[in-house]
Structure 1
């Protein structure tokens, strides 16, 4: 039969999307542009947070004139305390405070006046602190909302990837990206916005005030400051590798922990607890080492900036003494000058923040932008409930290498099989013959390289994946159960099932009896991956889940190969009840479980070697004869 032309499908994405070249200006622009849409739902609070930061920065404009007034009152010069009527240029305005307050201009300031004047300093700090708090709180709230949305989308994007993606990616690294790297990107991005919105304006406002009042003193105090930029920039280059390595080692640590816990029975069976502990310890030590390097570089910035600041202030002090200027003005100017260095210190760490954020945000964006290899075509139709006719039409398929190239040897080569609805089919053959690959193609985990897979005459590439899989129930050898109650594990087959339907499914799967014997019954928690249950019990819950799904196509992937004879008999009875009226396709190593199949298909090296009933194959298939001889020799 000639192969039909396949429908066009989206080109598969590569396993890894290359990052921008090192040092490229677009290296951060692309990820930032990708994340900007997450800002839109929280834009009002974001703008309000920026406004609070700007107001806090502008508030610094009142510091110098206000402090000059306060210190002129509290620290009078030798010619006596100034009268209340003394005029000060306040923000460019010539204001007479005595007239404004209705006081005697010639009055002298007493203790009460000094206390009132001095109290304005903590009041101004309080106002500035409230504004800073609102700025940081609002931006942090925005960041957390964005983190929640980004994390949800990243996890959703991960789950929508095809199996080929998971085959080449460690689960621990995915967990690291979804949980930790999203948080790193959010935390540092929020800090970056906080630093860059208010701090430059704070410095600008303070510098304008200082230069307007005493330009040469300001220059003397700040001219050394640029000298600290060079070591800070060099620290940024060194810390980039440490930040990237820290995130990589965090992924390795999560991988080690995930694998150890997932395979805890194997670990304990081989007494490999210490080996796994040491594997975790090595990854943890490497991560901590790189984290310390980054922290060391980050904490060096403060002393560098403060040391430079102290030199500038010392130089300014000498100049002030030489010029014989008033002490009250000097204290006011120095107090304002010292307010430059906290925002300057934060700005000096921006480069370190960017280096720390770059690796994390790139990984997050790579996942957000990664398209699944298998996608619905734009005009894909909902399949509806099918009869269950399946046609593998001249199928050829080869798996891919990690670099995306196809393996030379195909897993399936020219397979052409038609399965009638409502019948029982079994696939047998040695390992690597292509049996499991056929299951993957039915579920559309992969698309064939040539040929088509049709259900009820519909090319699987022309229908939505969800509607396809709603028509398929699965019972496999490796039963997976969630760390949840028995009820919820059965309900996973159909989320809107009622309590009565769940119990009916359990009864049909021969599971109700053992469930009622367990403490808690349907509310009993099965443990991680069902560790509190036996293999047969887990298998019966898997069958109950398939019963509840009530799909017209049932896939049995060696469902009884790991069970004892008695349990196998119970499972076989449950499967027999489940199979009624459905198209059943089974992969079996135990030929005793498929003797009653309507048709047995023998696979060898990706091709159909023969097909027929058990008795027919005993006569015409040499491979089947060997398989039967091995199992029925006794």
Structure 2
């Protein structure tokens, strides 16, 4: 039976709602299935390591009696071993009962202790590493799928969601879910059996000393804390890779309109996977270093125990106290302490897993129709057929005021159209509907007579080039920023596009040329330079429809002239739809669409509108009188 997944974002839940969250085991097991064999091996190794603790105590008890008890100077003396009862070493080894235990025999017996400790520690290391390996593989695929799911969402989702929260979920919450889940498996399969095995042997030997050993738990904490501080330094290299992955996510989320407009979701996932893979590799290195410290420390410490035993033999002292102190303090209390955290760890894991799954399984607002075909390269005809649309609030309910209402426009291929009107008139909304960032509440948007809802989103956007006033550049080279328009473009095609965009001149003057890094969001370039790179990107794309969104509004006169020439080159043979507040830039348009309050107020040429449209006359008068 499938678990009921929360429909509400766990980040927006109250404490009471969070307490009711259940672990979506079925959803997570999908990611475990490919690595199930190694996962089972890790669990089996954990059970074996836990059971070996009992074997270890029995073996050490046998060695202690052989070495330290004054009456056991011959191998024939029977030794009392927990659970096994009396054992005759001479019979087991094939010696005579009067064989003496000399110094070399003592040294050999004591040398077995480090070997036994290493075997025990190495089994635990293999258990932890196998589970960590499985967890790392799961983490890689979970992160990649969550990132892909986020990029699949419409701009409406991003307008109501904090980018930082998305980044935290992809990076931190997915890691918390994976790390804690692995730790829980280790705790619940290894620690209880470890405690049971040790206590069973110790109580069988001497229940009083075993009870007394439970009182001295604090003495075990000091070495654990000291070693823990040193081991944490090994994770620094892993953390260095965080910046790369965070940068990729930040750019993808911040520039989501550009990613969507150029249909580059798959490309961004590949960029993300490269950084993700590097970080996973570093995490595995850190895990190997961390988990290997334990058995090494125990093995080294056991050498001291062995030397201490030799000393105890020479002093003819009892081994009882030493057995209780060494085995009880080093083997019972750490797993008991870790088990005390299970409840807190489980709560944290359930929250993190639900938050990841909520994002992972969120359906996109805009989806392709089942088996939708690709839209072929079109001639460039665009039709808005009685289109109405309202934006939604954070709860998904449409706002009372519609963004556009009953808009009907027929735009012929190869013509230049301009959208003018006051802010909030619906100009940008028409762009968003054409790019299919949103679907109209009623009416249709057509390209060459084909409803864009019946074809794939990527193929629709492949037919559209975009140049916006808010130019976004990635923290990459100039070459790669231009190539973003068409990923398979050659260097010669990139160079030609830059020349047509009047960008080649300034690129040559920059140190590094086309290989120069533009900085975060293009911070190393001026507004005009960034705009020319954006035009070069659109030229390279060579789409039949070109959208210009206030492309020259924030430029000085000289730069504007250069940009206008580049746009003129870009526009040749294309259907151009421009949003402009400065009427001087669109007077030569074939048709100017005047919009007001989400509706088409008037359509005509510049000269026609000066005679027929009151709103256009007002806009013209305001700008040119100034």
Q: Which bracket does the TM-score occupy, shorter chain normalised?
A: 0.7 to 0.9
Q: In the aligned structure 1, how far is the partner of 2:404 from the partner of 2:18?
A: 44
Partner residue, 1:426: 418
Tell me which of 329, 346, 350 is aligned to 2:338: 346
Contact kept, 8 Å, 1:147 with 1:183, in 2: the verdict is yes
Kindly state the Cα deviation for residue 584 of structure 1 after the two structures are TM-superposed: 0.8
Which stretch shifts more, 21-30 or 127-136?
A: 21-30
Q: In the aligned structure 2, how far is the partner of 1:578 from the partner of 1:570?
A: 12
Kindly state the Cα deviation for residue 599 of structure 1 after the two structures are TM-superposed: 0.8
Q: In the aligned structure 2, how far is the partner of 1:122 from the partner of 1:426?
A: 83
Show the 5 A alignment for 1:440-455: 440-455=432-447
User: Gaps (5+ residues) in structure 2?
Assistant: 1-6, 218-245, 255-316
- 1:525 matched to 2:521: no
Partner residue, 1:457: 449
Partner residue, 1:365: 357
Tell me which of 9, 27, 30 is aligned to 1:34: 27
Show the 5 A alignment for 1:217-256: none
Tell me which of 101, 107, 110 is aligned to 1:118: 110
Contact kept, 8 Å, 2:382 with 2:410, in 1: the verdict is yes
Distance 1:206 1:509, change over 3 A: same
Tell me which of 172, 175, 179 is aligned to 1:187: 179
Contact kept, 8 Å, 1:490 with 1:548, in 2: the verdict is yes
Partner residue, 2:40: 47
Question: 1:100-147: CA deviations, max 9, x gaps?
Answer: 323221223222222222222222111111111122222222222222
- SS of the equivalent of 1:27 reads coil
Partner residue, 1:232: none
Kindly state the Cα deviation for residue 342 of structure 1 after the two structures are TM-superposed: 1.5
Distance 1:187 1:16, change over 3 A: closer
Partner residue, 1:208: 200
- SS of the equivalent of 1:73 reads helix
Q: In the aligned structure 1, how far is the partner of 2:85 from the partner of 2:416?
A: 94
Kindly state the Cα deviation for residue 356 of structure 1 after the two structures are TM-superposed: 3.1
Kindly state the Cα deviation for residue 378 of structure 1 after the two structures are TM-superposed: 1.5
Contact kept, 8 Å, 1:76 with 1:82, in 2: the verdict is no
Q: In the aligned structure 1, how far is the partner of 2:163 from the partner of 2:108?
A: 64
Q: In the aligned structure 2, how far is the partner of 1:346 from the partner of 1:16?
A: 27
Contact kept, 8 Å, 1:443 with 1:469, in 2: the verdict is yes
Kindly state the Cα deviation for residue 96 of structure 1 after the two structures are TM-superposed: 4.0
Q: In the aligned structure 2, how far is the partner of 1:119 from the partner of 1:129?
A: 16
- SS of the equivalent of 2:425 reads coil
- SS of the equivalent of 1:29 reads coil
Kindly state the Cα deviation for residue 90 of structure 1 after the two structures are TM-superposed: 7.4
Contact kept, 8 Å, 1:15 with 1:165, in 2: the verdict is no
Kindly state the Cα deviation for residue 80 of structure 1 after the two structures are TM-superposed: 5.5
Kindly state the Cα deviation for residue 596 of structure 1 after the two structures are TM-superposed: 1.2
Partner residue, 1:83: 75
Kindly state the Cα deviation for residue 328 of structure 1 after the two structures are TM-superposed: 4.2
Kindly state the Cα deviation for residue 452 of structure 1 after the two structures are TM-superposed: 1.2
Q: In the aligned structure 2, how far is the partner of 1:518 from the partner of 1:108?
A: 87
Contact kept, 8 Å, 1:14 with 1:404, in 2: the verdict is no
Kindly state the Cα deviation for residue 220 of structure 1 after the two structures are TM-superposed: 8.1
In the comparison of the two structures, how many residue pairs are matched?
525
Q: In the aligned structure 1, how far is the partner of 2:579 from the partner of 2:9?
A: 30
Kindly state the Cα deviation for residue 415 of structure 1 after the two structures are TM-superposed: 0.8
Partner residue, 1:59: 52
Contact kept, 8 Å, 1:21 with 1:27, in 2: the verdict is no
Contact kept, 8 Å, 1:64 with 1:333, in 2: the verdict is no
Distance 1:624 1:155, change over 3 A: same
Contact kept, 8 Å, 1:379 with 1:462, in 2: the verdict is no
Question: 1:352-389: CA deviations, max 9, x gaps?
Answer: 22233333332222211211111112221111211221
Partner residue, 2:463: 471
TM-score by length of 1: 0.77
Q: In the aligned structure 2, how far is the partner of 1:19 from the partner of 1:135?
A: 36
Distance 1:539 1:14, change over 3 A: farther
Distance 1:173 1:164, change over 3 A: same
Kindly state the Cα deviation for residue 175 of structure 1 after the two structures are TM-superposed: 1.7
Q: In the aligned structure 2, how far is the partner of 1:337 from the partner of 1:538?
A: 68
Q: In the aligned structure 2, how far is the partner of 1:58 from the partner of 1:198?
A: 9
Contact kept, 8 Å, 1:392 with 1:416, in 2: the verdict is yes
Partner residue, 1:549: 541
Show the 5 A alignment for 1:614-633: 614-633=606-625
- 1:129 matched to 2:124: no
Contact kept, 8 Å, 1:162 with 1:445, in 2: the verdict is yes
Distance 1:629 1:368, change over 3 A: same
TM-score by length of 2: 0.78
Q: In the aligned structure 1, how far is the partner of 2:151 from the partner of 2:463?
A: 20
- SS of the equivalent of 1:402 reads coil
- SS of the equivalent of 1:416 reads strand
Q: In the aligned structure 1, how far is the partner of 2:84 from the partner of 2:412?
A: 92
Q: In the aligned structure 1, how far is the partner of 2:11 from the partner of 2:405?
A: 31
Contact kept, 8 Å, 1:57 with 1:201, in 2: the verdict is yes
Tell me which of 60, 67, 71 is aligned to 2:64: 71
Contact kept, 8 Å, 2:468 with 2:549, in 1: the verdict is yes
The root-mean-square deviation of aligned C-alpha atoms, in Å, is 2.8
Kindly state the Cα deviation for residue 164 of structure 1 after the two structures are TM-superposed: 0.9
Partner residue, 2:165: 173
Q: In the aligned structure 2, how far is the partner of 1:426 from the partner of 1:347?
A: 68
Q: In the aligned structure 2, how far is the partner of 1:440 from the partner of 1:14?
A: 27
